[in-house]
Amino acid sequence: MGPVRGRLSVRFVRPGWFVPYFTIKPRLISIEIETSVAQLYNLTMNFEREKRDQQSLALFLGSSLRITDKSQLEEFLAQADARKLVYSAPYQDVFLIIKMVGLADSLELLRLTSKEQRRGFVDLDCWRKDSFHMPSFMEWLAAFIQCGPEETVRMARAVDPNLLALFLRENIQVHSLDPDEPSPDLPLTLTPDNRFGIEITGEAEAAMISRLLLDALFRFDPALGYDLIDRVYWENRVSLEEGAYQEKRRRLEEIGFVDYYDALEIYGEAHLTLTPLPSKDDEKKGTVALSSTLPALFVASLVPGDFLWEALQTVQDRKEAERISQGLAALANRLLSIHSVTPGDLEKVRPALEELRDTLSLGLEYLAQGQKDQVGEILQRNDIQSLFKIGFNLLSILHDQADRIFRQGRLRLDGVEETLLESPEAEFFSGLRRLRPLFFEGLEDPGKATYRSFGSLIDIEISKKILKEIGALGHVFWKVFGDSVSELSVESLGSANVSLRDLRFSQIFNTAVVNSLSKGMFQPVILSGSDLQEFLKSISARKPNRIQFAEQLISLARMHIEESVEDLQEGSVLLRFLEKWSNACAEELVPLMGEAKIDPRLIRTLIVRAR
């Protein structure tokens, strides 16, 4: 299900007795707001899971509004204390509810929000790094305009005036009027004191929103209206945006949305040992307005049975639950800063929450030495960010090991950045070398080509084993060939079916095996089309099936390995890889044995001259 568009009809009718500040004819205005139902559908829990999770995590859900869809919102709004509950909720929690339900379906909820919450919505949703995102801001303005002129003014009072001026500057032209000079021959709307004439220059919805915003302001808050007009007239775009950005940055830093480079500190080095909690005095010094409840999105990401889940189940003290919740909120906000994710983009928020969940679970599992009955005490005795660092440092060890293997140069040819590894080892190795290492799911299921977070120490152990094999492969592979591989270069492969960049270990090895069978030399010398044709003709006389041909290739390869590799353990690593390579080669070549002519360009398991 994709994005759904709905039209919000707005009717502003000026009372006949009201002295108009702006001459605007009553009219019906349609404002389009796009919201995504698919995001809600994909990210929220089914009913049974939600019910169970809320019971299990009652302390952490605390005063959470627990709203994930429109029907739940309607039930909530029917409560007598709905406004009080909304006012007491952290604005980031209310923001997530609006994003899940959809802005167009949350208008009644918007009416209940406070000034601080409204400012927070804009801070969270209307910036892309250090750039103001006008379309998102227009959606919020349009939604509050739909709520009526009084709510429009309340919204305007909450928002940074620099942002309102920035929006208006894009859609109006302010003309300073001299009472002794004739007015410009333009469609102007005059301010009450006749000092300024406003020309609406925006198009379509932007122009409509500008008219309605100014109309509401000069009816209910003329001082703010004049302030905005002055800013539009005197300030430039750069100064307005920079001023608003610095204020927004200051506010978001208080809840963990720090600068990208500061946020990277959570990936810093940490000792793989227990870290004591800060003292009560230190806690008071760093007190900020963080969420003290777990939002539904994070609860939905938790996996029952994992170490983090088990640890949260053990918390019985409300103050302890609040401390942990605030730590989780601050950590999640830092992760969103690092990922450059706008909190309103729920499809991108989810991977960040999953990284938080899995890395914390990894740290807890490591410290508890796999004993789930120990994780509760560990969670309650340690700082959330320190636990995350411990989990991430386990991944950093893998990352550093992969980097060392790569720098040794044995996995690639001179002048080439790509490794000679092939799937799934190539994707696995690439995943470990990322700033935030990921586990390649193709190792578990050949049908998958995606990555996921490391979720357990089992993933770590699997990765260590495969890394060890890759390192050994890079070391032992070249012992079999000596200096003969030096013949492979950009020039020599210029007419081949594979480029130097796309060359893989398997193609080098299989080519050497075929040369050994056909010419008696175990070297990766590029085959000509006629060489390959002649080889297949000679082999086909014995009419081997795929298994028999693969066994022949493996037997010959094993002989060369035993002759050149003294270390039996290293030799066994190479044998495991060559069995896969030989089977792939046999699967490709056996069906071609009866062909009258072979197109070398289509061969993938050998190096063949294509022209």
pLDDT per position as a tens digit, 78-101 = 999 999 999 988 888 899 899 989
What residue ranges do the domains of the chain occupy? 133-253, 260-389, 392-478, 486-602
CA distances from 24 to 30, 339, 364, 481 (A): 16, 45, 63, 85
Q: What is the pLDDT of residue 16?
A: 28
The pLDDT of residue 238 is 94
The structure tokens 């939604």 sit at 143
Task: Report pLDDT for 50.
Answer: 47
pLDDT of residue 3: 44
pLDDT by residue (tens digit) across 158-171?
A: 999 999 999 999 99
- φ, ψ at 172 (rounded to 5°): -135, 160
Q: Determine the average pLDDT of the residues in 515-528.
A: 89
Helices (H), 341-383: 346-367, 375-381
pLDDT band per the 50, 70, 90 thresholds, residue 570: confident
Q: How confident is the model at residue 263 (pLDDT cuts 50, 70, 90)?
A: confident
pLDDT mean over 216-234? 95
State residue 10's pLDDT score: 44
Query: What are the start-end ranges of the H helices in 147-236?
Result: 149-158, 161-171, 204-220, 222-234
What CA–CA distance (Å, rounded) separates 471 from 461?
15
- For residue 15, name the pLDDT band (cuts at 50, 70, 90): very low
pLDDT-based confidence at 345, cuts 50/70/90? confident
Q: What angle do CA 194, 190, 216 make, to 5 degrees?
A: 115
SS3 of 328-340: the string is HHHHHHHHHHHCC
**Average pLDDT value for the chain:** 83
Residue 544: per-residue pLDDT:
83
The mean pLDDT of 557-577, rounded to a whole number, is 86
Sign of CA pseudo-dihedral 367, 371, 372, 377: negative
> Rounded distance, CA 550 to CA 536, Å?
14
Distance between CA 598 and CA 530 in Å, rounded?
9
Among 195, 225, 193, residue whose Cα is nearest residue 212: 225
pLDDT band at 254 (very low <50, low <70, confident <90, very high): confident
Helices (H), 12-111: 37-43, 47-56, 58-61, 70-77, 82-88, 91-101, 107-111
Burial of 386 (0-12, 13-18, 19+ CB in 10 A): buried
For 52-68, what is the mean pLDDT?
65
Q: Taking the C-alpha atoms of 505, 508, 510 and 511 in order, what is their torsion angle to the nearest 10 degrees?
A: 170
Predicted confidence band of residue 322 (pLDDT cuts 50, 70, 90): confident
Instruction: Give pLDDT, residue 334.
Output: 86
The structure tokens 């660092």 sit at 389
pLDDT of residue 289: 45
What is the rounded distance in angstroms from the CA atom of residue 506 to the CA atom of residue 420? 8
